[in-house]
């Protein structure tokens, strides 16, 4: 079998070793005579998988005991609503930093719940960059400050986080586990799994325990407390997605943890950015240099015609997912943790040949 050169933005490529391992257990999990997804979510066999996923995540990210690790459904997008529903009180204001489409969407949902404030935004200039820390302007009575650590669509990423007096919340959907960070700097982190953690269907929420409150007026399934009290087993969790998540986490541990993965990610993104920077303007990067993402490399060619040709030829050779997001166009290479270095090298070599040809 030939693996595709998969640069999809999400769902994205998974480590091949994980797929192989899952295959072994596909029909008969652990000698149960049942596939994993046929097990009861209350069974011992499943419980072991579930708890192992939580323990691995705690280990990899050094998550202290005063944080809960929760597995939810509804994608990162449901968190846009759950966060204000759980954390924004009537006399408070929710603060958002706008750095791209996902933070826009997060703000849009918060507005339906209560008072909001844009603490900083780079929308005016086409989301080319992350704001400087000095540009952040909090409102009074801020319930929290929300940011998007990596902007999947525009290809920008925070490289230094603000230190705030108010709870800091990050949507890390597209860069969790890609580089080290201080978990204690944050009060809530969330990520849909389908970029760096596993398949779609499960959303990871890491939340400081003191933020979890009993909120009788909230629907049970929209209250963090429901999941925290029941080890994310109040109702049926997405068992197969959590199993695959546990295998991805095992793969991260076996591959040197976050430090080693981060190094490889830098190597991968440098290859592409060097190609762009040394192309004499043939390739034009979207993000300002200081704000560049190591996960999503966004670029354009000199003309739309040439971009189209580039994408066509790339597709013919077998590169998948290089189109920019439908809202911005251009090209994007998503190079998440599981994208092998060799695939990035193949892309760079294609870019070099294409440049020479045209």
Question: What residues form the annotated binding site?
Answer: 42, 76-77, 102, 152, 171, 194, 235-236
Distances (CA, A) of 352 to 265, 278, 300, 335: 21, 10, 15, 18
Q: Measured from the CB atom, is 152 or 337 closer to ligand PLP? A: 152
- Which residues sit in the known binding site for L-glutamate? 42
Min dist CB 66 to ligand PLP, Å, is 25
Q: Does 102 bind ligand PLP (CB under 6 A)?
A: yes
Q: Report helix, strand or coil for 3.
A: coil
Q: Determine which residue in the list 14, 54, 70, 76 makes contact with ligand PLP, applying CB under 6 A.
A: 76
65 near 113, Cβ under 8 Å?
no
Nearest distance from C-beta of residue 152 to ligand PLP, angstroms: 4
CB 157 within 8 A of CB 294: yes
158 interacts with ligand PLP by CB under 6 A: no
Please identify, using beta-carbon distances, which residue of 113 and 301 lies nearer to ligand PLP.
113
Q: Which residues pair with 116 in a beta bridge?
A: 94
Residue in 56, 116, 148, 298 binding ligand PLP, rule: CB under 6 A: 148
List residues forming the annotated binding site for pyridoxal 5'-phosphate.
76-77, 102, 152, 171, 194, 235-236
Please give the distance of CA 272 from its chain centroid, rounded to a whole number.
20
Residue 195: active-site member: yes
**Of 92 and 173, which CB lies nearer to ligand PLP in the complex structure?**
173
Q: Which stretch binds ligand PLP (CB under 6 A): 70-78, 84-92, 178-186, 266-274?
A: 70-78
Please provide the distance, in angstroms rounded to a whole number, between the alpha carbons at the two ends of the chain: 33
Q: Does 324 engage in binding with ligand PLP (CB under 6 A)?
A: no
- Cβ proximity of 84 and 94 under 8 Å: yes
Cα distances from 347 to residues 14, 116, 322, 336, 353, in angstroms, run: 18, 42, 10, 14, 10
Classify the phi-psi angles of 301: left when phi > 0, otherwise alpha if psi is within -120 to 50, otherwise beta: beta
Only one residue has tokens 């669509």, namely 153
d(CA 218, CA 320): 42
Q: How far apart are CA 187 and CA 166, in angstroms?
A: 9
Is residue 192 involved in binding ligand PLP (CB under 6 A)?
yes
CA distance 228 to 267: 38
- Regarding 15 and contact with ligand PLP (CB under 6 A), the answer is no
State the minimum distance, in angstroms, from the CB of residue 52 to ligand PLP: 23
In terms of CB distance, is 152 or 300 closer to ligand PLP? 152
Residue 277: active-site member: no
Residues numbered 208 to 267 that lie near ligand PLP (CB under 6 A) are: none
Which of the stretches 46-54, 75-83, 116-124, 332-340 binds ligand PLP when contact is defined by CB under 6 A?
Answer: 75-83
Residue of 187, 195, 251, 268 marked active site: 195
282 touches 302 (CB < 8 A)? yes
Among 173, 196, 226, 269, binds ligand PLP (CB under 6 A): 173
Active-site residue flag, 158: no
Catalytic annotation, pick one of 158, 171, 187, 251: 171
For 102, counting Cβ atoms within 10 Å of its Cβ (0-12 exposed, 13-18 middle, 19+ buried), the class is buried
Q: How far apart are CA 169 and CA 107, in angstroms?
A: 13
Among 116, 174, 223, 334, binds ligand PLP (CB under 6 A): 174
Tell which one of 22, 58, 75, 255 touches ligand PLP (CB under 6 A).
Answer: 75
Q: What is the CA radius of gyration of the chain?
A: 21
Residues that bind ligand PLP (CB under 6 A): 10, 75-77, 102, 148, 152, 171, 173-174, 192, 195
Q: Give catalytic residue positions.
A: 102, 171, 195
């Amino acid at each position: 079998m030939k693996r595709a050169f998969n640069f999809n933005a999400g769902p994205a490529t998974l480590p091949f070793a994980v797929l192989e391992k899952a295959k072994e257990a596909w029909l008969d999990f652990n000698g149960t005579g049942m596939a994993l997804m046929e097990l009861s979510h209350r069974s011992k066999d499943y419980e072991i998988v579930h708890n192992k996923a939580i323990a691995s995540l705690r280990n990899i990210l050094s998550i202290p005991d005063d944080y809960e690790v929760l597995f939810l459904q509804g994608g990162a997008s449901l968190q846009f609503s759950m966060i204000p529903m759980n954390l924004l009180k009537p006399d408070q204001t929710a603060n958002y930093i706008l750095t791209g489409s996902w933070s826009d969407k997060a703000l849009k949902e918060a507005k339906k719940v209560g008072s909001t404030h844009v603490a900083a935004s780079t929308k005016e200039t086409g989301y080319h960059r992350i704001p400087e820390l000095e540009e952040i302007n909090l409102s009074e009575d801020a319930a929290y400050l929300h940011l998007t650590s990596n902007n999947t669509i525009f290809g920008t990423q925070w490289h230094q986080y603000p230190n705030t007096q108010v709870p800091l919340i990050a949507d890390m959907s597209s860069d969790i586990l890609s580089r080290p960070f201080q978990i204690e700097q944050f009060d809530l982190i969330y990520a849909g799994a389908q970029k760096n953690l596993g398949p779609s269907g499960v959303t990871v929420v890491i939340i400081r325990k003191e933020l979890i409150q009993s909120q009788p007026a909230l629907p049970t399934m929209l209250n963090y407390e429901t999941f925290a009290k029941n080890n994310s087993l109040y109702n049926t969790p997405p068992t197969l997605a959590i199993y695959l998540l546990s295998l991805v986490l095992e793969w991260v541990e076996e591959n040197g943890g976050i430090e080693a993965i981060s190094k490889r990610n830098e190597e991968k993104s440098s290859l592409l950015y060097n190609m762009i920077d040394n192309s004499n303007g043939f390739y034009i990067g979207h993000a300002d240099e200081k704000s560049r993402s190591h996960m999503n490399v966004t670029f354009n060619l000199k003309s739309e015609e040439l971009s189209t040709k580039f994408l066509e030829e790339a597709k013919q050779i077998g590169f998948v997912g290089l189109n920019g997001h439908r809202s911005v166009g251009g090209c994007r290479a998503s190079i998440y943790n599981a994208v092998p270095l060799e695939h990035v090298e193949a892309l760079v070599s294609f870019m070099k040949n294409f440049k020479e040809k045209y």
